Structure formats: structure tokens, C-alpha cells
RNA sequence: GGAGAGAUGGCUGAGUGGUUGAAAGCGGCGGUCUUGAAAACCGUUGAGCUCGUAAGGGCUCCGGGGGUUCGAAUCCCUCUCUCUCCGCCA
């Protein structure tokens, strides 16, 4: 949610910023609705005040034994017009709130302007794509015939876009999870957290997967409105919903392993081969809750923490600053990490690190007590993958293959594989 | 799944229709005393919205939503959650 005060005071500024995303808002119409809201709110409050004052006088009159019938009749008439004004106000207010909930975050001034993902800006490159002296295979060719990776059985069990992992690959998958959690908790100072994988609508509204991106979610059948999490960002960030965090508790840094579930609506025919795009995948998510003045330093830090995973695995990657056309709904600024995949002969997204500033915090009513003012103020929230497990697994498989189709185990993972150096 | 009890401010807890945004205690903050600290004493201490240049007004909130009433923390309906007992269960 954008700052309502900013909407009121400088709507043109908001409109100009959103235009860079390709979002056009009707400034005149919005201003008119806002004007209405103000009028009705003031009128409602005036009538409420009158009712309160008169009702109190009835109490006083009654206590002194006077006849109160005329007084009561007067206030009764007042009640009707109050009710009507209240209803009008509620309607306008709800309309305004619903509209604002659909507006994305403003982008930071450092975000490159663009028209499509083509305009994302490369920030830095780490490592170089390996030159194989044979034709590298992709993860599907490397793993399916050995039955380490089994898409057919997954379809039988569920449907397309699921996978079954077996034996050494299942173990390698687990090793990656362990390695990442250890790295972030022991070396990067994160607190490990384990959270529900099923959440309510309020949580999804808080991190802004609702109301706008409902079609990307798996909803549970039943009387209650519940959803599978599309990312641990939802439950982890919502831990501070409706809280006032004391200043000395900040920054809060959580590392969370979880499965993620996405319907991938609108991606038919995209990445249908292999386990690049699945309905269910695993991820170690990083979340920061910080003071507003610290959030851009925190974004750099969080991104570096995600990069460290790739560096320790010796996987070549590049960092991209998403442009105004490609950046997510809640984000003010986003870096994507893209890992080199020899099987596709290109870089693919493996992590997305975003500063949402106070956008989610306002929706969640997540605040901290600013010692400078003594008042509760919105925190800033950040999130990033550190990293997506499935895609990291693919990257390891494809980058660490040899001519015989064996997969070598990266050094940092060997302790998690009982010292195993190669799987074949 | 069945039966019962409950949800009040940072916490404990009073309040069952009329100056109650809410007693009291604890905690927090400020002060007096003290070399310092503790104790004691005094003061202070919820959030959101809104009008106003300001000073200062006003509105809303006692788990959520709805209703009754001139007036609701207090009465009614409903939902959610918590606790106790029974059953089931990883």
C-alpha cells in the first residue's frame, strides 16, 4: 500500500512514478473521490459528536429526575441522518481502499527505466561460463535415464510440473538445503525460522499476493479461506504483522527453508522441459525487517548473502537490476541473481532480492518505535531467495558434469554428502 | 469430533446499559533522595483517523463482524481464537 498521505498531498508525483511501470492512474478522478471522502468523513464525525453530546445530556437529565422523552425523540431523528451519512462514507472509503490496494509500489530513483525485461541492467558478473571440451547435457538428459529424476512417476502421482527425486540426487538436494541454512545462520547472522506452509488471506494481503495475484496461488478446498504459500516470504514477513517492534530488536534477519507452491497460471508452454518451473519447489528464503534508513544498505547486504551461496558453490552468475517494467508489484528495487546453465547455454534467474520499503509494512501494520519521535512508524521489509533449491540443484548438475555423465560434488557440499565426491 | 469456560491497555486484572479510553497492581519513562545503586515518594505512560498554519478540537477502537438502544466494554446474534475435560491421532 502506498502512503495515503502522499496520495493526498502529491498525487501527481505518484502518478508520474507509476507511469514508469506502465501504470496509468486517473489523477482527476482520484482527487474527486478523495475530496468526497474528506467531506463525508467530516460530516459523519460531526454528527457522531452531536449524538454523543446529546446522549450524555440525557443521562444527566435522567439522573436528576427530569423528563427526557423530548430529548430522546430529538436524538432519534439525528440517528437516521447519521446512519445515512455513515453508509455513504463507508462506501467511498471502501472504494478508495480497494483501489489503493491494487496500486503497485513506487520504484526507487536508482531503478532503470524500461519497457520490458530486455531493459534490465547488468550490475556485475561473477565467474565465467565453463568451456567444456565436449557437448554438455542438460539436467534432464543427465539424470532421467539414471532415474534420479523422474517426471513420469510425478505425473502419475500428481500432474505435470512435478518431479520425483531419488537416491544420490535426493540427497544432494537435501545437502543444498543444509549448506545454505548453515551458511546464513552461522556466517551471515540470520535466525533460522520454520513457519506454516498454509496461510490465511490476511497474510497474503500483507505481503501483497492478494488481492491482485490470486490466480498464482493454490487455494485449499473447504469452508475456510486458506492457501498454500507461494514463498516463505509470506509467513515469515507476516510474523511482524500488527506488531510494534522495539528499536533495539532491529534489524531482524530470518532464514527460512520451506516448500513453495505456485499455480504458474499463464505460463503454458514455458519451461516445460525439466525442473526449471515446477508447481512445488523448495527454497531458502531470507527476510529482513529493518529501520527505514537502513533498508538500502540491507538490500545490498541481503543480495551479497545470496551471492555468497553461488560463490561458495563456484557457480558463475550475474546480478541484474530489474527495470521499471519487470519489477514486482511490492518492490521498490529488485536485484535478480542469474546463474549460468550450460544445458541452456544461458543465465537463468535463481534468486530475486527486493526492498519493499514500507509498502508491505503499511499493508501489514508492521511498525517499530522510533526513539527519535517516540512514535510507532512503519518498518521496511526486504526479502530474497538464498537460494531456490531446485534451480541450484540444476545449476550444480549441469556445471559439475563430466564427459561420462557423472556429476562431481562441489567441495562445500561434500561434508553434507558423507564425503562423497562424485555421483554416477 | 463431544462437553464446558473464557477473550479488557506492554503484562496481571476490575468493570454487567449513562462524563469509563477504561479502577488497581506490575512493568516503562521522568524527577526527588543517594558518592553510586536499591528502596521509598511524586509525576507520567495505548493506538489509529480527522479538522486546523498553529494553539487546540473532534471521531473510532475493550478478539473480528453484525444487531438492539437516545446511549454498549457491559444486552443479543455470529465468526475466530485460547483454556479445561472426554474421544481420536503423527
The ipTM, to two decimals, is 0.83
Contact between A260 and A220 under an 8 Å Cβ cutoff? The reply is no
Q: Alpha carbon of A138 to those of A184, A274, A278, A373: distances in Å?
A: 29, 9, 17, 57
Q: Which three cell numbers stand for residue A424?
A: 554416477
**Tens of pLDDT, residues A348-361:** 999 999 999 999 99
Per-residue flag: A133 CB under 7 A of strand B: no
Q: Taking the CA atoms of A342, A343, A346 and A347 in sequence, report the sign of the dihedral they define.
A: negative
Q: In the structure, how far is the CA atom of residue A400 from the C1' atom of nucleotide B90, in angstroms?
A: 39
Catalytic residue among A37, A241, A277, A291: A277
pLDDT recorded at residue A68 = 67
Q: Which of A123, A122, A142 is nearest to A132 (CA)?
A: A142
Nearest to A358 by CA among A310, A313, A292, A299: A292
| Any strand B atom closer than 7 Å to A72 CB | yes
| Helix H or strand E encompassing A368 | strand A367-369
* Beta strand pairing call for A317-321 and A333-341: antiparallel
A76 touches strand B (CB under 7 A): yes
Chain B positions under 7 Å from a protein CB? 18-19, 47-51, 57-60, 70-71, 80
Check if A84 is active-site.
no
Please give the average pLDDT of every successive group of 10 residues along chain A, which has 424 residues.
86 92 90 88 88 84 72 78 84 85 93 94 94 91 92 92 94 96 97 92 91 88 87 94 85 95 84 90 96 94 97 97 95 96 94 95 88 84 95 96 94 94 92
**CA-to-CA dists, residue A150 to A67, A144, A267, A397, angstroms:** 85, 6, 22, 15
Q: Of A185, A212, A209, whose CA–CA distance to A199 is shortest?
A: A209
Give the residue whose CA sits closest to B51 at C1': A42
Q: How many residues does this entry show for chain A? A: 424
What are chain A's domains?
26-101 (1.10.287.40), 117-423 (3.30.930.10)
Instruction: Confirm whether any atom of chain B, the nucleic acid strand, is less than 7 Å from CB of A79.
Output: yes
Q: Which of A418, A363, A371, A392 is nearest to A103 (CA)?
A: A363
pLDDT digits (tens, 9 = 90+) for A229-270: 999 999 999 999 888 888 888 899 999 999 999 998 877 778
Residues of chain A by 3-state class (helix, strand, coil), percent to 5: 45, 20, 35
Amino acid at each position: 500500500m502506498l502512503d495515503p498521505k502522499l496520495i493526498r498531498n502529491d498525487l501527481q508525483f505518484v502518478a508520474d512514478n507509476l507511469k514508469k511501470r506502465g501504470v496509468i492512474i486517473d489523477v482527476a478522478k482520484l482527487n474527486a473521490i478523495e475530496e468526497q471522502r474528506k467531506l463525508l468523513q467530516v460530516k459523519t464525525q460531526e454528527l457522531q459528536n452531536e449524538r454523543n453530546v446529546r446522549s450524555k445530556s440525557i443521562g444527566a437529565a435522567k439522573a436528576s429526575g427530569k423528563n427526557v422523552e423530548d430529548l430522546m425523540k430529538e436524538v432519534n431523528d439525528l440517528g437516521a441522518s447519521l446512519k445515512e451519512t455513515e453508509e455513504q462514507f463507508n462506501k467511498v472509503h471502501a472504494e478508495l481502499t480497494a483501489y489503493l490496494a491494487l496500486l503497485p509500489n513506487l520504484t526507487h530513483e536508482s531503478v532503470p527505466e524500461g519497457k520490458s525485461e530486455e531493459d534490465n541492467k547488468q550490475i556485475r558478473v561473477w565467474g565465467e561460463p565453463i568451456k567444456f571440451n565436449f557437448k554438455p547435457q542438460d539436467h534432464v538428459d543427465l539424470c532421467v535415464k539414471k532415474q534420479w529424476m523422474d517426471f513420469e512417476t510425478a505425473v502419475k502421482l500428481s500432474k505435470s510440473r512435478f518431479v520425483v527425486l531419488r537416491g544420490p540426487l535426493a540427497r544432494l538436494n537435501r545437502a543444498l538445503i543444509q549448506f545454505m541454512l548453515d551458511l546464513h545462520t552461522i556466517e551471515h547472522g540470520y535466525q533460522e525460522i520454520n513457519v506454516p506452509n498454509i496461510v490465511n488471506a490476511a497474510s497474503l494481503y500483507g505481503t501483497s499476493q492478494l488481492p491482485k495475484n490470486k490466480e498464482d496461488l493454490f487455494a485449499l478446498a473447504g469452508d475456510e479461506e486458506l492457501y498454500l504459500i507461494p514463498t516463505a516470504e509470506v509467513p515469515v514477513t507476516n510474523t511482524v504483522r500488527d506488531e510494534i517492534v522495539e528499536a533495539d530488536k532491529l534489524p531482524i534477519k530470518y532464514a527460512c527453508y520451506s516448500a513453495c507452491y505456485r499455480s504458474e497460471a499463464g505460463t503454458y508452454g514455458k519451461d516445460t522441459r525439466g525442473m526449471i518451473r515446477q508447481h512445488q519447489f523448495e527454497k531458502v528464503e531470507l527476510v529482513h525487517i529493518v529501520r527505514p534508513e537502513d533498508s538500502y544498505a540491507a538490500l545490498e547486504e541481503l543480495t551479497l548473502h545470496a551471492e555468497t551461496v553461488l560463490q561458495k558453490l563456484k557457480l558463475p552468475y550475474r546480478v541484474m537490476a530489474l527495470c521499471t517494467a519487470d519489477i514486482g508489484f511490492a518492490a521498490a528495487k529488485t536485484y535478480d541473481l542469474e546463474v549460468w546453465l550450460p544445458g541452456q547455454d544461458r543465465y537463468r534467474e535463481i534468486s530475486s532480492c527486493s526492498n519493499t520499503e514500507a509498502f508491505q509494512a503499511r499493508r501489514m501494520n508492521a511498525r517499530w518505535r522510533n526513539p527519535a519521535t517516540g512514535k510507532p512508524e512503519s518498518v521496511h521489509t526486504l526479502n530474497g531467495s538464498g537460494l531456490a533449491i531446485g534451480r541450484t540443484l540444476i545449476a550444480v548438475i549441469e556445471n559439475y558434469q563430466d564427459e561420462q555423465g557423472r556429476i562431481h560434488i562441489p567441495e562445500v557440499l561434500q561434508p553434507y554428502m558423507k564425503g562423497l565426491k562424485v555421483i554416477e
